[in-house]
Amino acid sequence: MIPLFFLATLCLGVVSAAPTHDPSLDAEWHEWKTRHGKTYITHEEGQKRAVWEDNRKVIELHNEDYAKGVHDFSMEMNAFGDLTNTEFRELMTGFQSMGSKEMDVFQEPLLGDVPKFVDWRNHGYVTPVKNQGHCGACWAFSAVGSLEGQMFRKTGRLVPLSEQNLVDCSWSYGNSGCDGGLMEHAFQYVKDNGGLDTSVSYPYEARNGTCRYNPKNSAAKVMGFVKIPPSEYLLMKAVATVGPISVGIDTKHHSFQFYRGGMYYEPSCSSSKLDHAVLVVGYGEESDGKKYWLVKNSWGTGWGMNGYIKMARDRNNNCGIVTHAVYPTV
């Protein structure tokens, strides 16, 4: 049995800060700070600048190899450029070892071939990309995403649901708010609670708060939840026949932190040590035959492909994308 882990956000390693700055990058540094609204106290800026330069170098070297055809995806500097590994863990992760609940197991549907391409965004199942901010609540965003899709499937109405409701109210089910959680714990809370509020009535705050669930504002119910065995074939079947699926992945790499676009494959990825929860909203195949999972992240539209990433499919469970896959039944 592969151990499962509390899923929070990324755990990313960055190289140590350089002792000196490159003056030729001054204009670029100031432009980056302005674009991302970064301000620092005087003694802090030098260290942040050094980290930013180190990250910039990693991105530059990767993209040089990308241009030579070594990689199938490119990287870019983004709002995470001034954070070290330690700062990432403090701001954005809640990594705790935790076993999962017993749940129903996905049964392969008795039907013929599934489509070669699936994108549930085109069928009304997927809300716009959200941003969890400096709060390890990716588990809540992932759970909400699959629940939004299943409620749409049932009712024909796409209603954004409240991640903050889960952050504040599901502690007794094993979740820890901004310090991490698990999607099935969220589903169990909604099932026992009898509902989950809308995001309009219970907006996201990126911090732990007091539970303020109001049944009058509920727009979802959960009857149970289903685990998909660790098989890319079965995950494809589930995505094709059920809708968006919650999954855990390993994101502890520069390549994921600064992903820009293309087919993401990371040979250093773990298939068992998962640290981030996301939503598989489809799958497909590129013109060169390389297969991918279409994944919705919760870091805003400024990351990746407007908040999405294409992750390698049928490449030995790269980054553990099928290790922990679940969805609610409504």
What residues are annotated to the active site? 138, 276, 297
Contact predicate 277/10, CB 8 Å: no
Q: 215, 195 in Cβ contact below 8 A?
A: yes
Residue written as tokens 């298939």? 271
SS (H, E, C) 224-251: EEEEECCCHHHHHHHHHHCCCEEEEECC
CA dist., res. 230 & res. 251, Å (int):
18
Nearest partner of 92 among 206, 167, 208, 9, judged by Cα: 9
Phi, psi (deg, nearest 5) at residue 26: -55, -50
Q: Are 52 and 32 in contact (CB under 8 A)?
A: yes
Q: Which of 253, 198, 215 is nearest to 73 (CA)?
A: 253
User: Which residue(s) pair with 105 in the sheet?
Assistant: 227
Torsional class of 240: left (φ above 0), alpha (ψ -120 to 50), beta (otherwise): alpha
Q: What are the contacts of 105-113 at 24+ separation with CB within 8 A?
A: 105/226, 105/227, 105/228, 105/229, 106/226, 106/227, 106/228, 106/229, 106/234, 106/237, 106/238, 108/234, 108/237, 109/237, 109/241, 111/241
What H or E segment, with its residue span, contains residue 22?
none
